[in-house]
Amino acid sequence: MWPVLLAYYAGVVAMAGVSLSRVGSDNYGSRKIVMFRKHRPLSSCHETVLKKGGRVVRELPLVHALAVRMPERGQSLEELGLHPDVLLIEDDFQVQTVALPAVRMRQREQTIPWGVERIGAPKAWQEAAGEKVKVAVLDTGIDAGHPDLKANIRGTQNIKFPGWQAGDGNGHGTHVAGIIAAVDNNFGVVGVAPRAEIYAVKIFNRRGNGYISDIIAGLDWALQNKMQVVNMSFGTTRPSQALEEAVRRCVQAGMVLVAAAGNEGKENSVMYPARCPGVIAVSAIDRKNNLASFSSRGSEVTVAAPGVDILSTYPGGKYRAMSGTSMACPHVAGVAALVLSRDGHISGRQVVKTITSTATRLPGLTPEEQGSGLVNASFLAAGTRFNDEAREGPAVTSLSVIPSMTS
């Protein structure tokens, strides 16, 4: 099907006399993702791009694709789209984190943030605190030296700027990491899963921007390094078939993917990748259990979580309060870590089912606003074990499979 679509687009473009897209362009040409048929090794696909005047930015083996720059003028892009080994060409556009500005806070004695308390995480800690669960934070990096985080940071990877440290010049990633796994000590704050193993995967720059190809490369790293939970506190209103394919492969491999629903503040506005099948899409509530005014909503929402005035870690050993579905998302990633630390034998699919089936329905909110309800970790305190029905039961509808695009 894809070659037919490419041929159609190429014909339309040729008649119009314009390129497929100018999104993401600069002096070196527009950025594109080119997916190839699997029978062709990516190493040999470089030559195909070069012959059309393009330049390879990076390989994306997870979706058997190349991120490239193509000339703005001429027929090079259209000709590349007609190559028999090319399945798909789409824009490699930029994606942003979804959080509101931070408010500086002074923090000395340890505090359990209201969001961690609201979802019942402290009640679960005697049973499970995230031990031996690997959580990847795809974000702006993490301040790995933060005194409330460093004991739980087990690795870093700089996808955005290879060869450099995966530090956090923005603050967003460090804040997200603290919500998931700030250490339970005598100062600062405590995360939802205070013993989870955190891996900083830097895919965004200090402005909180990164390309679709950066996200795909980050997911690939997470998959290759056997991450069990992936936090994605970012979003875009534009779909990407390459990103959906990457998500499909990670879900199929058993990873738990959690994403911010978005800060669009209107109906039917859940962003990608939260909108992708298989991803836990998280909306945000405030202290009064009302939907946050900024929160996106829609049928894709899986659960809700606290996302207003959330106190967490910040670079330089500091603490800040931030708001956004970016803050709601890591509450759910932390609960996924708690579930896996208590019973690491269940599948990612069943982790999702457990989270949705134990969520607390909030009165006054529609399913489009809260999904199955407010995420709830307190059920873990009861010492219940997953029965055979939970292990083998049917998958929830949000886990429908996307047809493979690389067959």
Residues identified as active-site? 139, 172, 326
Q: What's the token pair of residue 285?
A: 């509530």
> What's the CA gap between 150 and 275, in Å, rounded?
32
In this structure, are residues 372 and 118 in contact, taking their beta carbons and an 8 Å threshold?
Answer: no
> What's the CA gap between 203 and 242, in Å, rounded?
16
> What's the CA gap between 320 and 298, in Å, rounded?
29
Q: What's the token pair of residue 402?
A: 């996307």
- What SS3 string covers 39-57? CCCHHHHHHHHHHCCCEEE
CA distances from 16 to 19, 92, 119 (A): 9, 22, 54
List phi, psi (to 5°) of 92. -100, 80
Q: For CA atoms 10, 15, 17, 22, give the dihedral sign.
A: negative
Cα 181 to its chain centre, rounded Å, is 17
